[in-house]
Every structure is written in C-alpha cells, then in structure tokens.
C-alpha cells in the first residue's frame, strides 16, 4: 500500500507500539486517526497534532464510540493494535475472571467488531488494508499467559480466514506477529525486548510491501522452528 494520502485508524495509538506507529505513518504522509483509553496519554497525543478518539475497547460502548467517531469519514486502513494481558496462572492463585473477560473482549471481540463495522467503507475504497497485530505467542503459547495467548491465536485464525474471504475485494489483510516489545504490557518480563520504534518500523514496511504476514524480530526464528517441528516450538515457548 502506498501510505501517502491514506487515512488510517490505529487502535491503541497513544502508547507503546501504537504511539510509534502513528508517528511513523504520519511521516509517510498518511492522515492518522488514533484511539486511546488513558486520558493523559490521549491529551498528549492530541497536543502532538493527532486526532484521537478516547474509548475503552474492552466494552461494547467503547467499540460504538470509535465507530461513531469515524462515521462518514474516509478510512483506507484499520490497524487493530490495542491489546492487553491478564494474569491467569493457577499456580499462583485463583485468576481474576473479570480481567480475563475484558482481555478476551479487547483482544478478540473488538477487532472483529471494528472490522465488521468498517467493512462497507473499506470495500468502497478500491484499495484498503486491515492490519491485525497478534503475537509470536499466537504460534505457541506460554504457560503463564493462557488467556492472552488464546486471544492472539484466535485472532491469527480469524485473520487467515478473513484474508481468504476478501480475495478480489481490494482489501488486503496483514497479520503482524511481534516478539516481546518494551511496553507497559511486558514490564518485568526480562530484558531482551525489541524497542517499540523498531517494531513499528517493521510493521510500516510490511504494509508498504502488501505482506500477508510480518514476523517481527525473533518471531522469524520461532516460525522456522514451528515449520520444522510444531511440538518443539511448543516445548520452547511453554516455559517462556
């Protein structure tokens, strides 16, 4: 996709990977509409000259607010980047099921609802793109994060099926599988993390190439291992 002149909606665009994405997309000449939840971060991004829709995508009301915020607007690309994790480890105690439900809604339901709501507009563009940010953990899960891993694996399957459905429609579906990136979501999880600006750079590059799948950083190695032996990939990642 030629990004210059395109209008792109980025969920989770006020922090982490998303905050880098919106700036790199703008530098390519795109008009960016960002979404964020935290009021302070939303205000900071607005001060930087971006249009921002504030909403909580772990709720139906939040999804409705984002769709209402872009109603009647031209949208050439949707980047489903917003995501969260929930502690869910029975070795450490009873999990918070409300947090699990919110994670499932944000990571899986919200992208599906936004895609459905924007599909007529995307089809009308002639050339459009849906970018779903999953994770290397969509390939093989880790024991400590089963809910997060399950949502990303589900979104991966959804992306693959959607890509097949939309063949010939002019809508390209790109799945992005990042490694562990230095964000609030991964705080306390080791020190070998990718910088968010580099992750964003590789996502933007994949969009420009019309790639079907972007394996970012060390995920390339995980994909190679998985192609040879899925059982070995699972054995490696389950302890991660």
Please give the positions annotated as active site: 148
For CA atoms 24, 82, 119, 176, give the dihedral sign.
Answer: positive
Number of H helices, E strands in the chain: 9, 7
Name the E strands within 1-108.
Answer: 7-10, 31-36, 51-54, 77-80
Q: Which helix (H) or strand (E) holds 128?
A: strand 128-133
What is the b/e burial string over 162-184, where b = at least 16 CB atoms within 10 angstroms of the residue's CB? bbeebeeeebbbbbbbbbbbbbe
Ramachandran area for residue 75 (φ above 0: left; ψ -120 to 50: alpha; else beta): beta
Ramachandran area for residue 130 (φ above 0: left; ψ -120 to 50: alpha; else beta): beta
Distance, CA of 210 to CA of 213 (rounded, Å): 9
């Amino acid at each position: 996709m030629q990004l210059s002149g395109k209008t792109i909606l980025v969920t989770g665009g006020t922090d982490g990977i998303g905050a880098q994405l919106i700036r790199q997309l703008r530098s390519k000449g795109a008009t960016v509409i960002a979404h964020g939840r935290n009021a302070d971060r939303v205000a900071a991004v607005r001060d930087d000259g971006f249009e921002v829709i504030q909403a909580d995508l772990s709720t139906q009301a939040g999804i409705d607010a984002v769709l209402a915020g872009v109603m009647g607007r031209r949208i050439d690309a949707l980047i489903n980047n917003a995501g969260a994790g929930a502690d869910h480890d029975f070795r450490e105690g009873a999990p918070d099921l409300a947090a699990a439900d919110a994670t499932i809604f944000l990571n899986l339901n919200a992208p599906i609802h936004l895609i459905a709501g924007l599909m007529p507009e995307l089809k009308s563009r002639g050339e459009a793109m849906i970018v779903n940010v999953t994770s290397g953990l969509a390939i093989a899960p880790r024991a400590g994060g089963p809910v997060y891993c399950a949502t990303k694996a589900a979104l991966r399957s959804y992306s693959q099926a959607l890509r097949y459905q939309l063949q010939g429609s002019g809508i390209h579906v790109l799945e992005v599988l990042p490694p562990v990136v230095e964000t609030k979501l991964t705080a306390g999880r080791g020190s070998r993390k990718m910088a968010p600006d580099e992750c964003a750079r590789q996502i933007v590059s994949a969009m420009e190439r019309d790639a079907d799948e972007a394996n970012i950083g060390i995920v390339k190695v995980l994909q190679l291992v998985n192609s040879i032996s899925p059982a070995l990939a699972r054995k490696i990642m389950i302890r991660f």
